[in-house]
């Protein structure tokens, strides 16, 4: 009996020690919740709060005020998952949901004089916000009373090149402390930018009627606007520039608990699928967007666009699957460099999923000097890689109908110079399985007839502990094949 009591006491002490340690960890040191504003209207949107219950600044981050400036909304969506060490962090990621859905700077259903949300805030003492959404945002700020407000935007051009645009700048309110911290943010970010014409500059004050100007002058909140540039830059780079600036800002306030490349929540449902879509060098324009459109209906899926800096920095550890979209496989490999390619290979080898579409299938293949060599497939007739674009017909194998779709017969699908694949017979990699074969072909630009027909169009394989899916044609840009794309990603994630 005494021995039993001693065991119980020891167990209770161990439990108390565990709880004590856990309660001191960042995961338990803050409360998180979300609420809606403008509820019951077309402008309804959510904000998120992380509260440490420890003395410190109250910081508010706003994204998506202008719907044609998506990088700010995406960065804010990442930032809302960050952990902080003190104070409170309030994030409104998608301030203007209808405009973001329409990719429009203007607010739909409002007259021209009131359609720019960032001119609808009080311009003078006694003024009121001009529309339902600006009123809801203003009331949120009034109720939370943040010490700092950072509004994430994008300009159309680099301000050092085109002074008519405010792209690549920080626009600070007329407060000494704001300018000081803005300068530190610029110093940190500019270290990551090689082209001097694309480095960020300090501007100010914000335009009258803007959220940042109104918060500073009407409510005495230290405010600034962070402007990236959407001209000729992928979303992943622009969102990361926002994150770098916000992270430096939070670090200066001694609030940052992690790095700038935390993109997802660490509190994830068991059935969640976290997907990283590569969108940097070598990627075609519409590929990442098409993939996002096709994959969003999957329950509990989290989609993030990533660039080379994130991949080489180890961000893939946060994900289940990495997708290499269409474009150019060799240019993707060149942009990723040895470190980026190695990071992808190690991710798959350690159990991650890889899905390559067209260029991504080239990248995964076995017989280019630059290819990842993560699937036992060679590209044949490499001389005629540019064999043309258009609609072709494929037919699923029995395994393809089991894994992707039970649709029998021939399937129309878009083809755009995808690889013609054959077994590589690499003894170090398991053989691939064909999920579909080409039943018609394209042989433009002097490509020989008969080479493409009946070769594998879609294949899967294993590499280390991970799964590899490769499609030579483009189901992600073929209307009606969205379910096939979803099943491909589920399979790649081990679902």
Chain segment 148-187, per-residue pLDDT in tens? 999 999 999 999 999 999 999 999 999 999 999 999 999 9
Residue ranges in 191-233 assigned as alpha helix (H):
211-219
pLDDT, mean over the chain: 93
Q: How confident is the model at residue 40 (pLDDT cuts 50, 70, 90)?
A: very high
Domain layout of the chain by residue ranges: 23-252, 273-492
Q: Which CATH number fits domain 273-492: 3.30.1330.10, 3.40.50.880, 3.30.565.10, 1.10.3080.10?
A: 3.40.50.880
pLDDT at 29: 61
Q: How confident is the model at residue 131 (pLDDT cuts 50, 70, 90)?
A: very high
The 10 Å Cβ neighbour count of residue 103 is 10
Over residues 381-389, mean pLDDT? 96
Q: Which region, left, alpha or beta, applies to residue 208 given φ > 0 means left and ψ of -120 to 50 means alpha?
A: beta
Query: Rounded to whole angstroms, how far apart are CA atoms 252 and 184?
Result: 9
Is the model's pLDDT at 14 over the cut of 60? no
Q: How confident is the model at residue 472 (pLDDT cuts 50, 70, 90)?
A: very high
Residue ranges in 80-210 assigned as alpha helix (H):
97-102, 132-144, 176-190
Over residues 373-383, mean pLDDT? 97
Distances, alpha carbon 239 to alpha carbons 76, 88, 334, 343, in Å? 9, 22, 22, 21
Is the model's pLDDT at 10 over the cut of 90? no
pLDDT at 408: 87
Q: How confident is the model at residue 268 (pLDDT cuts 50, 70, 90)?
A: confident
Q: What residues contact residue 144 under an 8 Å CB cut-off, 6+ apart?
A: 58, 60, 90
Is the model's pLDDT at 1 over the cut of 70? no
Report yes or no: 59 and 146 within 8 Å, Cβ to Cβ: yes
pLDDT at 285: 86
The answer to which of 26-30, 46-50, 145-149 has the lowest mean pLDDT is 26-30
> What tokens appear for 28 in the block?
């338990």
Class for domain 23-252, per CATH? alpha beta
Please state the φ and ψ torsions of residue 494, each to the nearest 5 degrees.
80, 20
Over residues 328-346, mean pLDDT? 98
User: How many C-alpha atoms does 37 have within 13 Å on its Cβ side?
Assistant: 23
Over residues 36-44, mean pLDDT? 97
Please state the φ and ψ torsions of residue 139, each to the nearest 5 degrees.
-65, -35
pLDDT at 278: 98
State the angle between helix axes of 482-492 and 287-295 in degrees (0 to 180), rounded to the nearest 10: 90
Q: How confident is the model at residue 13 (pLDDT cuts 50, 70, 90)?
A: very low
pLDDT at 9: 35
Give pLDDT tens digits for 200-232. Answer: 999 999 999 999 999 999 999 999 999 999 999
């Amino acid at each position: 009996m005494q021995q039993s009591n001693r065991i119980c006491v020891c167990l209770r002490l161990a439990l108390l020690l565990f709880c004590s340690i856990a309660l001191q960890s960042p995961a338990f040191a803050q409360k998180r919740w979300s609420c809606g504003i403008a509820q019951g209207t077309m402008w309804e949107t959510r904000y998120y709060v992380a509260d440490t219950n420890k003395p410190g600044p109250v910081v508010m981050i706003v994204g998506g005020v202008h719907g044609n400036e998506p990088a700010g909304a995406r960065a804010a969506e990442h930032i809302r998952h960050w952990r902080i060490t003190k104070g409170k962090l309030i994030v409104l990621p998608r301030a203007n949901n209808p405009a973001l859905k329409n990719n429009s700077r203007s607010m739909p259903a409002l007259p021209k004089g009131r359609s720019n949300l960032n001119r609808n805030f009080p311009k003078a003492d006694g003024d009121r916000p001009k529309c339902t959404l600006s009123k809801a945002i203003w009331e949120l700020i009034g109720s939370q009373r943040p010490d700092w407000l950072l509004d994430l935007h994008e300009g159309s051009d680099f301000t050092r090149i085109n002074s008519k645009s405010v792209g690549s700048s920080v626009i600070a309110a007329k407060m000494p402390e704001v300018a000081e911290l803005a300068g530190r943010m610029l110093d940190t970010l500019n270290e990551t930018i090689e082209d001097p014409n694309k480095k960020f500059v300090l501007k100010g004050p914000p335009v009258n009627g803007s959220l940042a100007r109104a918060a500073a002058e009407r409510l005495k909140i230290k405010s600034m606007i962070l402007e990236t540039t959407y001209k000729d830059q992928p979303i992943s780079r622009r969102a990361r520039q926002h994150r770098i600036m916000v992270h430096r800002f939070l670090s200066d306030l001694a609030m940052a608990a992690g790095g700038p490349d935390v993109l997802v929540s660490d509190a994830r449902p068991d059935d969640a699928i976290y997907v990283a879509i590569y969108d940097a060098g070598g990627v075609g324009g519409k590929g990442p967007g098409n993939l996002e459109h096709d994959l969003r209906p999957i329950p509990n899926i989290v989609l993030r666009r990533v660039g080379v800096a994130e991949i080489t920095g180890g961000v893939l550890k946060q994900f289940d699957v990495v997708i290499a979209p269409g474009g150019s496989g060799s240019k993707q490999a060149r942009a990723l460099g040895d470190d980026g390619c190695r990071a992808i290979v190690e991710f798959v080898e350690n159990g991650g999923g890889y899905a390559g579409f067209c260029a991504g299938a080239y990248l995964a293949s076995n017989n280019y000097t630059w290819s990842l060599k993560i699937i036992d497939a060679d590209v044949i007739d490499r001389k005629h890689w540019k064999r043309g674009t258009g609609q072709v017909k494929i037919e699923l194998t029995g395994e393809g109908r089991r894994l992707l779709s039970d649709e029998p017969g021939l399937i129309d699908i878009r083809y755009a110079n995808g690889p013609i694949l054959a077994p590589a017979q690499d003894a170090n990699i398991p053989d691939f399985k064909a999920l579909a074969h080409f039943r018609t072909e394209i042989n433009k630009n002097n490509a020989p007839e008969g080479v493409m027909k009946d070769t594998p169009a879609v294949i899967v394989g294993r590499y280390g502990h991970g799964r590899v899916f490769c499609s030579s044609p483009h189901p992600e840009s073929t209307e009606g094949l969205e379910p096939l794309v979803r099943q491909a990603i589920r399979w790649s994630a081990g679902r």
